[in-house]
Amino acid sequence: MKGHVIGVDVGATWTRIALANLHGVILDKYIFKTPREGDRYTIAETITINIIQRYKDSIADVKAVGIGTAGPLELSTGMVINSPNIPMRTFELARPIQDALKKPVIMANDCVAAVWGEKVLGLGKDYSNVVYVTISSGIGGGMIVNDALLLGKMGNAHEIGHTIVDVSGKMKCGCGGYGHWEAYASGVNVPRFAAMLLNEMSISGDERASPVYRAFVEGTLSTEIIYSEAAKGDKLALKIVDKINRYNIAGFENIINLYDPELITIGGAVVLRNREIVFKRIVSGIENSKGVVTSLPKIVITPFEDDIVLVGAISLALLPPQNLIKMLKYIQYI
């Protein structure tokens, strides 16, 4: 098969673009900082310029461009609306790229793209019920139920990081809500939650020698130090990690009870960098859970690791889900 597709992963910090063949094999990949200054067209223009400069020899036989982006989205107009982590907040994305390249641009939320990538090109090929979960600076998910990619009215279904795992609402989430999963266990929020726990705990003499306690006292507590000390066996760090993982396990129990998946793949920096202390402990927590009413799914780390959203974007371009295409009112050239 001759031809190419282009995938774009728009994150709050980094944007990745890739050229792939029609089997979904990445032939070239390029990463640049997502612009943090400019107007509502700056991000789309920067992506367009990079695609044209880098892939000018291949652009004629590009069939489509797929985009997986941080949300929230308005799929009908191809825009990002009020994004908490990108300073422009509300900006055009799919339409200006489509106008410039004269190729269909198929856009979805990053985790929605990711689960589609897992289904089209990854471990989900043989399954009809697949979930992807990321635990990174935030927590998010994408779901395929009975082969249908779930989207919601604007494309914002499955903001699972903002589901409630603590009705007492001890922690306030970045979105303004209380008791949300993300407020306890995402990379950005782990140090805040850990500091709250350390303020509440009685700390033994031994524990005061822990690098985690020293970092807490010095005001330099980080997700990295908590997880790396836990991996080394530091008792205080392990106590904190056990508490965080209780919220992670609750989040996954909710997901399994809601969607009855056959396969869950997990990605995101917090999981990828802490496989023993986060991934394995979540899996064993779910295996021992009394709170799951259906049979347990297979739970694995995504083989695509940091490229999962890019692979998802490529999959959107290769095999656009028809229910998604119907929602993209701006779509042309298809």
Residues lying near Zn ion in the complex (CB under 5 A): 162, 173, 175, 177, 180
We find the least distance from the C-beta atom of residue 247 to Zn ion, in angstroms, to be 13
Q: 103, 182 in Cβ contact below 8 A?
A: no
**Distance between alpha carbon 147 and the CA centroid of its chain, in Å?**
20
Q: Which residues of 19-52 are buried (b: 16+ CB within 10 A; e: fewer)?
A: bbbeebeeeeeeeeebbeeeeeebbbbbbbebbe
DSSP 246: H
**Closer CB to Zn ion, residue 173 or residue 244?**
173
We find the least distance from the C-beta atom of residue 253 to Zn ion, in angstroms, to be 18
Q: What residues are paired with 144 via a beta bridge?
A: 130, 149
Shortest-Cβ-distance residue relative to Zn ion: 173
We find the least distance from the C-beta atom of residue 215 to Zn ion, in angstroms, to be 26
**Closer CB to Zn ion, residue 152 or residue 177?**
177
**Closer CB to Zn ion, residue 17 or residue 173?**
173
We find the least distance from the C-beta atom of residue 297 to Zn ion, in angstroms, to be 25
Q: Which residues of 111-127 are buried (b: 16+ CB within 10 A; e: fewer)?
A: bbbbbbbbbbbbbbeeb
Amino acid at 26: I
We find the least distance from the C-beta atom of residue 80 to Zn ion, in angstroms, to be 18
**Closer CB to Zn ion, residue 30 or residue 178?**
178
DSSP 203: P
**Distance between alpha carbon 68 and the CA centroid of its chain, in Å?**
10
**Closer CB to Zn ion, residue 244 or residue 299?**
244
**Closer CB to Zn ion, residue 163 or residue 315?**
163
We find the least distance from the C-beta atom of residue 72 to Zn ion, in angstroms, to be 12
**Closer CB to Zn ion, residue 73 or residue 173?**
173
We find the least distance from the C-beta atom of residue 135 to Zn ion, in angstroms, to be 14
State the Cα–Cα distance between residues 80 and 9, nearest whole angstrom.
Answer: 13
Question: Among 13, 17, 11, 2, which Cα is nearest to 97's?
Answer: 17
We find the least distance from the C-beta atom of residue 172 to Zn ion, in angstroms, to be 9
Handedness of CA 165, 167, 169, 175 (dihedral sign): positive
The Cα-based distances of 182 to 35, 73, 246 in angstroms read 25, 19, 13
**Closer CB to Zn ion, residue 20 or residue 173?**
173
Q: 77, 18 in Cβ contact below 8 A?
A: no
